[in-house]
Amino acid sequence: MKQLLLSLSLPLIFLACTPEPQPIEYGADKCEFCRMTIVDLQHAAEVVTAKGRAYKFDAIECQIHYLQENQDTEFAFTLVNDYSKTTGDLHPAEECTFLISPNISSPMGANLSAFFDASTAQEFQQAKDGKLYTWEEVQDQIKR
């Protein structure tokens, strides 16, 4: 009996400890950095700490500012939305290509968008001008 209980509860404990991305509730969730209500599905972003706590952002620039302010914290996930999609799927920031274009405005004024597909990013750059960055580069670019 005891063993049964133990075997049942053990996975529960592990489950509780695994950090997992949380879906963003558009129109209800608040940006952790700027306090704005998150409504823009093309620019919203999220980080999840190693302890499993999720913080959501209305724009990638807010996410970057937040990461810069919390450099000591360990993050399990750093996720961004793909500008060219409207499905709300979050992608790992490290795998995305970033575009800063004066013709695509983002919620907090940095004109920054993310693309999961590098070729899509190039298409948008050709159509809308601007400059492409990797995740590392764009973090340097967006400094407070």
Q: Which residues bind another protein (CB under 8 A)?
A: 26-30, 34-37, 39-42, 84, 86, 105, 108-109
Q: Which residues contact 58 (CB under 8 A, 6 or more apart)?
A: 31, 34, 36, 37, 38, 39, 40, 43, 44, 107, 108
Phi, psi of 140 (to 5 degrees): -70, -35
Cβ proximity to another protein: between 69 and 94 the closer is 69
Cβ proximity to another protein: between 65 and 77 the closer is 65
User: At closest approach, how far in Å is the CB of 26 from another protein?
Assistant: 5
Cβ proximity to another protein: between 26 and 75 the closer is 26
User: At closest approach, how far in Å is the CB of 35 from another protein?
Assistant: 6
CA distance 88 to 79: 11
